[in-house]
Chains A and B, each alone.
Chain A
Amino acid sequence: MTPLDLMEALHDVPEDLLDFPLDTATESRSDIQTDESEKVQANQPIVANQTAVKTSEPHDTVNSPRQKYGSAFLSYLLTAGCTAACIAGFAMLIHFTGAQDDFSYRSGSHEIAVTEIEPAATALTTETTTVTTTATASPEETETMPAVQTETETVTAAETALPADTVPVPQTTVIPGTTTHTAAAETVTQKTTLAKTTVTTIHTTTQATTTTAASPAPVYEMGDVDMDGKITFADALLVEIDYQLAERGMSAQSFLNDEQRALGNMNGKDDGRYWDGISYAPEWNGSLNEWGQQIKYEPYPLSGSDSQIIEKIVFWRNWMTEPVTAEDFQDDNRVVTYYNPQERRRLADMQENEPETYQEYDAYWQVYAKWSDVFYFENKLTAFLSDADSLTEFWADMEYLRGIYDREVTAK
């Protein structure tokens, strides 16, 4: 059989399979691009024509915080990433120290390597810390902001802290919301706890949301989760992290407010489970994917090697193009032990009985994707907590990312 035979056979398939777009435009033949290297602005962001929040101000009048603050985007990324790690760490540590016995997503047989993590967990200390955060409006924003907000929050819960030298403290928590939010005086002890960072970040995010509500309400497009007027990789990252923490069963509080969740609800489900429409493209630019409705994110100007760092941070997975295969499971034997025998049998059945119909394929795909997601996250988290160097590496990655962003984006 030659490729031509295959192509000929393809041209004999029933017409109902020819559901691809046929260009019937009436342009003249001279307009037809005959060179295969046709110029496509591949890096141009493509945004779906969906609007989540209807308000009076047109979208193009929104002042993008990114335009205003440049690297604020990365600060947000940094904050979001930290939040993910910290909330996850907090939740896991509470779990492992016995403060919370059951995680809803863990079945009884989910006896994952607790013993592997326990030494790392018990090595951590417990303390009570006070965090004082004072937020003031910048001069240019005082007209639109209703009030200067000052809050003092005391974290009294027993918190599990890491040794001071392993946790660099994020210096700034500027959220690229729609208004300026400057932490004028943020006193954080050097011995920052995971929980404290979490609370601070969530608190700051909430404040940003509050001030957003006070300003003239702009129109945000679906997918614009951080409400900065642009759909970017950060939006995907935010939803992804929130999904992992709040929806996946980590018992953590969602750090997105209702409006943000609505913007991330790409599949339009009524129950607000926005996350299951989320996926990432297998390269550096993220995508929101809702079964044929894809939003391509603003390209992030990173080279291939740099993209590995993003991959590491956002728990990258390849959902969009392919179900996870058996080979993927074999790559990491620990994964198998995570799941109970019933689910493992189900997996085995699926591998043996290949789907015949689209519906079967769909179910097959979704189960694999779901599992893939869980074990990706659990593996990352396990490694993160059990390896003291992981935290340092994480922060180093974030700093590296900031450098790249400043060089590639802010400089332009």
Chain B
Amino acid sequence: MHDNSRIIVLLLQRDEQALKLIREQYDTMCYQIAYRITGNREDAEECVSDALMAVWNSIPPLIPDNLTAYLASLVSRNAINQYKRMHSEKRGGAQFVSALDELAEILPSSECVERQIEKRELTAALTVWLRTLPPDHRRIFMQRYYLSESIQSIAQTNQMSADAVKMLLMRLRNKLKDYLRKEELL
């Protein structure tokens, strides 16, 4: 059984035992999420470690309602950033990107305010759209695009055929496209 509240209490007490418990309970989940995005064991491990560090640094003051979801979110964000870095390496070379990262530390966020606002709007729109979906459709959508689960895995957990999952996802993507257009985000 998960004992998230115990972990939270330990974190609030700054007891490192909390990290050990998180490792015990969530290591596989976090690693899976990270690996699906990065496709690399070392990178995935790094993402998980960074997420644990973020948990340690953010709690307190933050007290998440759902520690599992919070962890998943942290890991996947780290993994996405790692993915971006990996693709930057392909274009510009690791050293160049590294140099840029070092310079970025002394500059304001590389993302302009307008872009930040756009991202917030996009998140808000996605939130509204997701709430209009039937729960089972939302679950499948999130399994694919949040957790990056394979079609087969989604089919298995939802007791559907892979073809049905593919079709459903295709329709949901089209719906999302229509919705984003309507919201003038595309």
B73 lies within 8 A of A355 (CB): no
B122 lies within 8 A of A285 (CB): no
Judge whether B98 is part of the interface by a CB distance below 8 angstroms: no
A296 lies within 8 A of B159 (CB): yes
In the complex with contacts A9-B119, A294-B160, A296-B160, A17-B142 CB distance below 8 A: yes
Judge whether B57 is part of the interface by a CB distance below 8 angstroms: no
CA distance A294 to B155 in the complex (A): 11
B150 lies within 8 A of A9 (CB): no
B153 lies within 8 A of A38 (CB): yes
CA distance A79 to B108 in the complex (A): 74
Judge whether B68 is part of the interface by a CB distance below 8 angstroms: yes
Judge whether A98 is part of the interface by a CB distance below 8 angstroms: no
Say how far A205's CB is from chain B's closest CB, in angstroms: 30
B164 lies within 8 A of A320 (CB): yes
Q: How many residues of B contact A (CB 8 A)?
A: 63
B66 lies within 8 A of A25 (CB): no
A12 lies within 8 A of B161 (CB): no
CA distance A365 to B132 in the complex (A): 12
Residues of B within 8 A of A7 (CB): 80, 145
A361 lies within 8 A of B134 (CB): yes
CA distance A20 to B68 in the complex (A): 11
Contacting residue for B2 out of A9, A24, A287, CB 8 A = A24
Residues of B within 8 A of A13 (CB): 123, 126-127, 130
CA distance A28 to B127 in the complex (A): 34
Judge whether B52 is part of the interface by a CB distance below 8 angstroms: no
Contacting residue for B80 out of A11, A15, A22, CB 8 A = A11
In the complex with contacts A22-B29, A42-B161, A357-B132 CB distance below 8 A: yes
Segment from B5-13, B19-27, B89-97, B99-107 that makes contact with A: B19-27
In the complex with contacts A18-B69, A32-B28, A294-B160, A40-B152 CB distance below 8 A: yes
Residues of A within 8 A of B185 (CB): 1
Judge whether B109 is part of the interface by a CB distance below 8 angstroms: no
B146 lies within 8 A of A38 (CB): no
Contacting residue for B72 out of A18, A42, A292, A358, CB 8 A = A18
Which residues of B in the span 20-64 have a Cβ within 8 Å of any Cβ on A? 24-29, 31-32, 35, 41, 64
Contacting residue for B66 out of A15, A291, A355, CB 8 A = A15
A15 lies within 8 A of B150 (CB): no
**Binary per-residue interface labels of chain B (146-171) against chain A in the complex, 1 for a CB within 8 Å, 0 otherwise:** 11001011011111111110011001
Say how far B48's CB is from chain A's closest CB, in angstroms: 10
Say how far A26's CB is from chain B's closest CB, in angstroms: 6
Identify the closest chain A residue to B44 (Cβ): A29
Lowest 4 CB-CB distances: which A-B pairs, in order?
A18-B69, A40-B152, A9-B122, A15-B69
What are 24 inter-chain pairs, A to B, with CB distance below 8 A?
Answer: A1-B122, A5-B119, A7-B80, A10-B142, A10-B145, A13-B123, A15-B70, A16-B66, A17-B142, A20-B146, A24-B26, A25-B29, A29-B31, A34-B35, A36-B150, A40-B155, A282-B167, A283-B163, A292-B136, A320-B164, A321-B137, A321-B171, A357-B131, A362-B134
Question: Footprint of A on B, CB under 8 Å?
Answer: 2, 24-29, 31-32, 35, 41, 64-66, 68-70, 72-73, 76-77, 80, 83-84, 118-119, 122-123, 126-127, 130-139, 142-143, 145-147, 150, 152-153, 155-164, 167-168, 171, 185-186
Question: Footprint of B on A, CB under 8 Å?
Answer: 1, 4-29, 32, 34, 36-38, 40, 42, 46, 281-283, 285, 287, 291-292, 294-296, 320-322, 355-358, 361-362, 365
